[in-house]
Amino acid sequence: MEKLELMINGLPGNLAMTIASHVITDDRFTLVPFSLTGPEIEADTHTIDGVEVRLVKPGERDGLIKEIIEAHPRFITIDYTHPTAVNANGEFYVNNDLPFVMGTTGGDREKLLATVSKGNIPALIAPNMAKQIVGFQAMMAYAATTFPDLFKDYSLTVEESHQQAKADTSGTAKAMVGYYNRLGIPFSEDEIERVRDPEIQKGQWQIPEAHLSGHAWHTYTLTSGDGSASFQFKHNINGRKIYIDGTLDGALFLNQRLIHGTPDETRGRVYTMIDVLKLSNQS
């Protein structure tokens, strides 16, 4: 079986490094030894498990991309960079015909979708790459569509805690707010309670100290107007393994669409993790 080449952008960020390290040891993949990185990164290379990866700054990527494509004619790009780079990176991938998995949250998502739709390549874009959480979101979407206003007159609190380095509000929490709105609860994304303080996470939330640098704890609490009923949904993730598995499954999915789909079927197509779940259910 031919290995799928993956270019992991966002090194030396924690999640990008974790995924790259996994790719190196996974028989299904080969790591492309280049990574798009931010202008603030001073190093020119980063070594992961003995593999040296060249770090490509924004100012030099236009000049290097042809060289990268010539050396690696067919690869999938995985983006775990920074929210501020989402749209510029999306345009770069589309302009250079680089199919990509966008794991980075933030940015102007509508603009990102429009960018892909005007291009020649498909992309997989999701606010969360954890398949189990995506499945939970799908259940919420079903409830919101099938039972609109089910929680009318209820109040909502949304609390999300992530590692201190996470710059933006959780994309998953934002998506969940949309479902609760359709279930009858007026609630703004600005009302999401975002926790990034390690001391609060460790003391009040009781998040294990070993996972303060990498976790995703979400709690959604719904309370009736008279206080007589309360519902709570939560998903607490420690570490990053769940995102690695989902991201790599997403890359394999996108590659299969490129192999088996016609250009007309894949051109400008945006897939989601729901599409990945549906394929897994069929196999």
Per-residue pLDDT tens over the stretch 9-47: 999 998 899 999 999 999 999 999 999 999 999 999 999
Annotate 180-189 with b (16+ C-beta within 10 A) or e (fewer). Answer: bbbbbbebee
256 and 222 in a common domain: no
59 and 22 in a common domain: yes
Domain count, the chain: 2
139 and 116 in a common domain: no
Of 217 and 278, which is predicted with more confidence?
A: 217
**pLDDT tens by residue, 85-124:** 999 999 999 999 999 999 998 899 999 999 999 999 999 9
Integer Cα distance of 5 and 74 in angstroms: 7
Q: Annotated active-site positions, please?
A: 162, 166
Nearest to 247 by CA among 34, 78, 37: 78
pTM of the model: 0.84
The band of 236, judged by pLDDT with boundaries at 50, 70 and 90, is very high
Q: Residue 83: exposed, middle, or buried by beta-carbon count in 10 A (0-12, 13-18, 19+)?
A: middle
Range of the domain at 263: 4-125+242-282
Phi, psi for residue 54 in degrees, rounded to 5: -80, 130
The enclosing domain of 170 has a CATH number of: 3.30.360.10
Nearest to 126 by CA among 177, 171, 161, 190: 171
HSE at residue 34, side-chain half, CA atoms within 13 A, is 19
74 and 208 in a common domain: no
For 75-85, what is the mean pLDDT? 96
208 and 149 in a common domain: yes
Of 10 and 283, which is predicted with more confidence?
A: 10
Q: Where are the alpha helices (DSSP H) in the chain?
A: 14-25, 61-71, 86-95, 109-117, 131-146, 171-182, 198-203, 241-260, 263-266, 273-282
Integer Cα distance of 242 and 264 in angstroms: 33
223 and 135 in a common domain: yes
Report the share of the chain in percent with pLDDT over 70: 98
Nearest to 19 by CA among 95, 104, 88, 141: 104
Tell me what pLDDT residue 1 has.
67
254 and 200 in a common domain: no
The band of 281, judged by pLDDT with boundaries at 50, 70 and 90, is low
The enclosing domain of 89 has a CATH number of: 3.40.50.720
